[in-house]
Amino acid sequence: MGSCLSGESRGSPHPGSPTGVKKKKGSKRRLGSRNSSFDFRVEEQLHRTPGRLFLNGSSEIASLFTQQGKKGTNQDAMIVWENFGSRTDTVFCGVFDGHGPYGHLVAKQVRDSLPLKLSAHWEVNIKSDEVLREVSLNTAGSLCSVDDSSVSADEESRASIDVDEAGKNSEVFQTLKDSFLKAFKVMDRELRMYASVDCFCSGTTAVTLVKQGRDVVLGNVGDSRAVLGTRDENNALVPVQLTVDLKPNLPAEEERIRKCKGRVFALRDEPEVSRVWLPNYDSPGLAMARAFGDFCLKDFGLISVPEIFYRRITDKDEFIVLATDGIWDVLSNEEVVNIVASCPTRSNASRTLVERAVRCWRSKYPTSKVDDCAVVCLFLDSNETTHAISKSKENIPSLENGEYGLNRSGTVRTADEAVESGDGDVPEAADDDQPVNVETGKEWLALEGVSRVNTLLTLPRYMPGKEDKQETKAKN
């Protein structure tokens, strides 16, 4: 979870923060103006789709779990969708890390809408592949244009990073690559039009994958991460990072942002965290180079074009872990795969991983508030009978309401670093029995835990509205 503060968040609001930047007058029609009861019925029908899991729970092939941190409303979301696109050998997985005052709404909106768009474009690509390929060649546009999601020729080439020749020739990869690019573009465009979700200073990451047979294609924006657990030549379990954390300090990302007049620099008290800033104002300070939403930065180098990755599954590959940075900030790739592999039952793998991460947060970063965590574990050898696994597909009541091989994602500071920088926060109690959830009716400060934030922008307090309460009631 991230939030938006300004460089002067501890004092008065910055006069040049995005709250004072005029929003561009976009399209005349805005989504979200339909009757709320109609939207609720559509959402309820979607949540009852067979094989679609979005709450804490497990199936025969996957385990998923999310837990609220200490900063307020849980802004992480996740999904596992079996028989995706009505294909029996296909599954869609994703985790989404929202940030900003309405980040939790953005993350849920992307979780619910992106898979539908991906499935639709995939079906169209299969039926009229040649026509859509010609159309995709005409979608090249300036990264600095108002339609930030336009895919330039350079972005098309970068989308094929980490794909070998066999992958490039795979029909599944080619069709899914086009589908990912188109679905992400349409998703971001619709977020700009939604009247019910203000995405001007709010957004979300997204690390998603589609597995069909032995082919796995991933689409990623932001700093959430996917890691594969596989066996090496000595049969030892090793991690393989499948995605790149798209931080502003990556050379290609920083170059694009600077070309679009955006600025990239780190604050004095956290030199290891590069952030994206407006040209003339020290805000919002987004700690990632790509994201859905965050339209205050979309004219200045921030994009929602995903990087696409391909993997052909082998017999040595055991599972894939998708997780938000609440996990990667405190656990290394190697630690994550070892925790998942050592879990007695696969159905508890994601929960075990989250609980271990929470303990690490309290011990490694006692002056920082524990971040939200969301994990999806997809098991690749689910047909084997040597592993114990829960076959129940019931959703456990959610806590939602209530360089490769990095050891941490680089957006937190240790206790020693906080002390050296003069941070006088009192360390949190490391009592494991301490409740993690916050009551739904309580207001929260987006600026809480300023030593671990993804963006720096002064934000208003958030009070759960009718839609949040209605959603909570539906899930219960």
pLDDT digits (tens, 9 = 90+) for 53-62: 999 999 999 9
Q: How far apart are CA 63 and CA 348, in angstroms?
A: 7
C-beta separation of 121 from 178 below 8 A: yes
Residue among 191, 185, 149 nearest 30 (CA):
191
Q: What is the pLDDT of residues 19-31, one digit of tens each?
A: 445 555 544 445 5
Instruction: Give the residue-averaged pLDDT of 437-442.
Output: 36
Give the domains, in start order, of the chain with CATH numbers: 39-413+440-475 (3.60.40.10)
C-beta separation of 235 from 274 below 8 A: no
Q: How far apart are CA 98 and CA 78, in angstroms?
A: 11
The token duo for 132 is 């859509």
Instruction: Give the residue-averaged pLDDT of 163-179.
Output: 73
Locate all alpha helices (DSSP H) within 272-332, ordered by sequence: 325-328
Whether residue 33 has pLDDT greater than 70: no
Residue among 290, 307, 286 nearest 154 (CA):
307
Tokens 């208003």 found at: 460
Q: What is the pLDDT of residue 367?
A: 86
Collect all residues with Cβ–Cβ distance below 8 Å to 126 and sequence separation of at least 6: 175
Burial tier of 208 (Cβ tally within 10 Å: 0-12, 13-18, 19+): buried
Lowest-confidence segment of 139-148, 343-352, 406-415 by average pLDDT: 139-148
**Cα–chain center distance at 243:** 12
Buried b (16+ CB within 10 A) or exposed e, 64-100: bbbbbbbbbbbbbbbbbbbebbeeeebbbbbbbbbbb
Q: What is the pLDDT of residues 227-247, one digit of tens each?
A: 999 999 999 999 999 999 999
C-beta separation of 181 from 151 below 8 A: yes
On whether the pTM is more than 0.85, the answer is: no
**Using 50, 70 and 90 to split pLDDT, how confident is the model at 173?**
confident
Instruction: Give the residue-averaged pLDDT of 88-111.
Output: 94
Lowest-confidence segment of 77-86, 126-135, 207-216, 305-314 by average pLDDT: 126-135
Q: What is the pLDDT of residue 125?
A: 74
Residue among 165, 281, 301, 292 nearest 222 (CA):
292
C-beta separation of 23 from 467 below 8 A: no
Whether residue 272 has pLDDT greater than 50: yes
Length of the chain: 476
**Cα–chain center distance at 141:** 25
Lowest-confidence segment of 104-108, 116-120, 144-148, 465-469 by average pLDDT: 144-148
C-beta separation of 249 from 403 below 8 A: no
On average, the pLDDT of the chain sits at 75
Q: How far apart are CA 383 and CA 295, in angstroms?
A: 44
Q: What is the pLDDT of residue 1?
A: 43
Whether residue 310 has pLDDT greater than 90: yes
Whether residue 266 has pLDDT greater than 70: yes
Q: What is the pLDDT of residue 101?
A: 92
Whole-number percent of the chain with pLDDT over 90: 51
Instruction: Give the residue-averaged pLDDT of 447-470.
Output: 49
Q: Tell me the one-letter amino acid at 4.
A: C
Q: What is the pLDDT of residues 57-76, one digit of tens each?
A: 999 999 999 999 888 899 99
Q: How far apart are CA 38 and CA 285, in angstroms?
A: 37
Higher pLDDT, 45 or 160: 45
Q: What angle do CA 308, 88, 216 make, to 5 degrees?
A: 20
Q: How far apart are CA 323 and CA 337, in angstroms?
A: 12
DSSP string, 147-203: STT---HHHHHHTTTT--HHHHT-HHHHHHHHHHHHHHHHHHHHHHHBSSS--SS-E
Q: What is the pLDDT of residue 403?
A: 37
Q: What is the pLDDT of residue 184?
A: 97
Whether residue 99 has pLDDT greater than 60: yes
**Using 50, 70 and 90 to split pLDDT, how confident is the model at 51?**
confident
CA distances from 396 to 64, 82, 456 (A): 10, 18, 35
DSSP string, 19-70: GGSPPP---S--BT-S-HHHHHHHHHHHHT-TTEE-SSEE-SSEEEEEE--S
The token duo for 445 is 């400060």
Q: How far apart are CA 348 and CA 130, in angstroms?
A: 44
